[in-house]
Structure 1
Amino acid sequence: MPARIRLLEVPYDSGCRDVRHGAGPPALVAAGAAQRLAHHGAVVDHGRVQLAAGPGPIVEAAAGTEVMRLVAQDVAAHAGHLPVVLAGNCGVTLGVVAGLRALAPERRVAVLWLDAHGDLQTPATSASGFFDGMSLAMTTGRCWQGLAASVPGYAPSPDDRTVLVGGHQLDEAERRLLDGPGPTWLTVADVRAGRAGSVLDRVVAHADAVHVHVDLDVHDTSLPPANSYAAPGGLTPDEVRATVLDAVTRLPLASATVASWDPTHDVDHRMRDAALGLLELLGTPAPAL
């Protein structure tokens, strides 16, 4: 029986639809995301998240959390599918993992978070107040606990099942956390030195499956930058793919998020093509990985 994939389009950036990073998901769909996922024979079911229009101004934290809730509900409603989510913001991953937990509370899902940034800021440490810059902190239970608890199925992702990969644009508080008691930090240098496998071997002891989160700005800016937050010093597409392969050859793929692509920065479609190649990899049947 062919694999069943739920391709979920979440075209929001800070609660705004189809602008900035929110324009990335529909652009990837138009470029053939579903066909790439289906390349190896999977059956792809395509859905979209739609925020209800409110009477007042958008409140970033409230809108971002409502998106997480809708994503969690969609994942939980599609048992038997592999959720692959195209997202404007990284916080969507909290909703994906919560939806998986609603389906199977006993399943231990590791989170492999590929990102140029730590996303581990909190309201106490953030100088910008950007809600999405706190998304991994929220996923691991470090902030916005009341909002996180409103997402069906949410529970904090334990640090021993959480790995930040490729982070190189971090503030000092994030670095202290990652150098100390926080999630494992697999740096760009670590990836290039071949240390990904040994790190992931330790995660396997605490997990039954893996969620792969890729903020496309983890890629080096030698490609056109994924968004306005991208910074030099990132990974190549081959290094991103190799790290994902290292993870999914050790643990079953539970779900995936591809996030934060702003098409206006992609002058020659190379970042788009890197994302499509990654989606094709995610749609490859497990025995072939």
Structure 2
Amino acid sequence: MKRKISIVGVPMWLGQTRYGTNLGPQGIRCAGLMERLKGVGQDVVDEGNLPIGITGCFRQSGENIKNVKTLVDSSEKLAAKVSNIIQEGRFPLVLGGDHSIAMGTLAGVAKHYKNVGVIWYDAHADMNTPETSPTGNIHGMPLAASMGLGHSALTNIGGYQGKVKPEHIVLIGARDVDKGEQQLIEEKHIKMYTANDVKRLGMEVVIAETVRYLSERCDGIHLSFDVDGIDPAEFPGVGTPVADGLSYKESLQAVRLLAAAENLISAEFVEVNPLLDKDDMTARLTVNLIGALFGETAKSKQVQRTDRKRSAEAI
């Protein structure tokens, strides 16, 4: 499906404590993102990176939450940017940055949709609040905040609460869920496919059930793809690796299946850390995933390589 795509980078690392995810957007770009999307006929514009602060107070006094002001300020900017992109009739493709940026993305998307569905592809549930978080890192809180749970500064991003309803969320690939998050998942009856569930059922079944489940309830689906959902043996450039994850092959199958979903309205890819990567493997494979989400196939990749070779020979 041909889309009008607007890329926006969010060079944020303060949702956690490992420097480097702020370099993720440029790392993904340098791995050939624009060329690949244009190669499959997409109408794509790169709107650059949001100008955001990269330093902040490490921890709020007396509260189990870090860098609140900087993250709220950046999330407000992202929410406005994403909202404008949708208003222009384009598809927001957001490049992170750590997963805290999802608060801004969802705040911008939910202004235009009454019932946003969210596919949270991640090793973690990211549903902590300051009361349940073992670290105070905000990249472990964006989904809870988007549901209206947690610190008021986070839940009110965009000027309103409740961007997404619990029954409109599907977790895929989870395998490192904190006790408070597990309790919330059970209380709110949030749909979850663990990494083991995916292995047992197969990715084709998981995606088919997910799309059907959300399509029956929602007027649009947002994909929030954290690359640490993939096993770190294949995706080493992440700050919070968790063993026994989904494979790259399974993940490629997932995005290819989602490419056919007509109600996919926005997407973000987060947590690429070039400083922890090996030979740019994580950035390059992330570009493969994004390309597949927008219709790239093995055949179209081969055509692009052939065209580049012919151009080089002509020069």
Q: Give yes or no for the alignment of 1:120 onto 2:127.
A: yes
AA aligned to 1:257 is E
Instruction: Indicate the SS of the match to 1:69.
Output: helix
Match for residue 40 of structure 1?
40
Instruction: Indicate the SS of the match to 1:206.
Output: coil
Q: Is the 8 A contact 1:88 1:260 kept in 2?
A: yes
Q: Within 5 Å, give how 1:1-289 maps onto structure 2.
A: 3-14=3-14, 19-47=19-47, 48-51=49-52, 57=57, 60-78=67-85, 79-102=88-111, 104-106=112-114, 108-152=115-159, 155-192=162-199, 193-194=201-202, 195-196=205-206, 197-284=208-295
Give the Cα separation in 1 of the matches to 2:120 and 2:96. Answer: 14
Q: Is the 8 A contact 1:115 1:214 kept in 2?
A: yes
Report how many aligned residue pairs link the two structures: 281
Give the Cα separation in 2 of the matches to 1:218 and 1:60. Answer: 25
1:25, distance to aligned residue in structure 2 (A):
1.0
TM-score (norm 2): 0.81
Q: Which runs of 5+ in 2 are unaligned?
A: 59-65, 297-315
Match for residue 313 of structure 2?
none
1:207, distance to aligned residue in structure 2 (A):
1.1
Deviations 1:61-92 (A, max 9, x none): 21112111111111122221110010112122
Instruction: Indicate the SS of the match to 2:99.
Output: coil
Give the Cα separation in 2 of the matches to 1:248 and 1:31. Answer: 21
Give the Cα separation in 2 of the matches to 1:153 and 1:124. Answer: 22
Give the Cα separation in 2 of the matches to 1:139 and 1:223. Answer: 30
Q: Is the 8 A contact 2:259 2:292 kept in 1?
A: no
More helix by share: 2
Q: Is the 8 A contact 1:4 1:43 kept in 2?
A: yes
Deviations 1:143-173 (A, max 9, x none): 1234332325653311111111101111122
Instruction: Indicate the SS of the match to 1:254.
Output: strand
AA aligned to 2:14 is S
Give the Cα separation in 1 of the matches to 2:221 and 2:259. Answer: 7
Instruction: Indicate the SS of the match to 2:222.
Output: strand
1:134, distance to aligned residue in structure 2 (A):
0.9
Distance 1:217 1:226, change over 3 A: farther
Give the Cα separation in 2 of the matches to 1:174 and 1:141. Answer: 14
Q: Is the 8 A contact 1:12 1:21 kept in 2?
A: yes
Question: Percent identity of the aligned residues?
Answer: 25
1:129, distance to aligned residue in structure 2 (A):
0.8
Distance 1:184 1:73, change over 3 A: same
